[in-house]
Structure 1
């Protein structure tokens, strides 16, 4: 399971009476992976009845029969279907596997659970300017664009490859109100219009400078949401917030620890697999300063 979650390029699985090809497919479907895999069954290798089959219709695997001696080979696909049934997508919480991802880092994106919570905390309204700093695959930008078609979203990434991937995902989801921006924050932010909402998913080691620029540029009553994966970045954020204190008092913070796990099949049984922790920090700008709220939970 770990190899699948890490997006390994090639995986060989020795099967038995419990861990059958059908059970492996069931696991593949339950994990909701961002990568797709070609599925091969190799039977009686080296024998007179040797057979190698590629399975393309997973719905038939429940009734599939295979020789007792078989090996399943999974080969990660470099392609993803060009077609996407947009009408079948939910209004909120697009499945991770619907997005194009980095071929060498297939799981690197803001996960569905994080997006759902972060979008709610952004308190989005129509006709807003939104910055998505460290946009990655553009998953947050695209969710915002679909929810608020009258808003303008600027998806900032420091590499040209990431900018190209964001544009590919925008084309895939047919959104035209996301503008991919190639450049490093905070420097590249100077050329953008002042935002009403800011999501920070990556900082490139310049979190202090990014927060200070966001403080200066964010409109009154605006919101910032940070998704932080490390204690060091959380400490940096809280230290920065405390530096904004007025009248000698630290800004109030609210912390909420949420324990989250996804169900995964184990042969004919089911267990829960905990997700790694992420910290969401919500900051609201008022005419006289900032108020900060912190929610923590295992979302990635």
Structure 2
């Protein structure tokens, strides 16, 4: 078995998160300090959602300043497209920070849409310590057979392509609603220990609810993947645009199909206990520029 398999109820997220390497010295004319990043926010109405939290698993709001057209922003590591919202009076890059990111200085690359010199924009990732949880599950869900190992690998590769989705139109706003009502039974970033074996941090929010409880779309989006996965059980992925995706899993039933376009609040399935679980609940993950980020940042407290 692989000791680096994630140990949450949606294990694929950490597989895709890449560790940030330490950034080398960058010419001062190209790298803006974090104070400059936020000083420009006064030029336009700031992005309200999700809440900004510049930690591993959080979201950064990087003010890009005014421009006639939307700038193109990509991550410095991985060269991944970043969601940019706003208007000509001021643009903001809304950046997902991977759970595996190393605290410290980081940057994104900005290319003006109308031409001009590309530049780097700096931001700082603060450290955050997440809690630990110990769980008992069926041994076959931790120590995989050769057959299950092969299935897991096939699913992992498939879900890499799902998470790479970056589509338009971009979302008009990023404020979400919880997909189901209930008690939060597992928080994002929780480091899981299954049967005494440590796994990667929990990449989503668990919400306890009885089997059959309706699950709804947290934000308008298009269904881009459904399936029954080894760890996640019955799963639905929604594309909200601009590299912002939602995943809900462990469903008892799936009521949508790939290609369906759902308004916010539309039913997409029901709570269940499929996949690797200790009881019925909903696991909800949010991916932003292929980084799993804390869903709590997208919903009212």
TM interval, shorter chain, is under 0.3
- Structure of greater relative contact order (alpha carbons < 8 Å, 6+ residues apart): 2
Where is the strand percentage greater, Structure 1 or Structure 2?
A: 2
TM-score by length of 2: 0.23
Where is the helix percentage greater, Structure 1 or Structure 2?
A: 1
TM-score by length of 1: 0.23
Determine which structure has more spread, i.e. the larger CA radius of gyration: 1
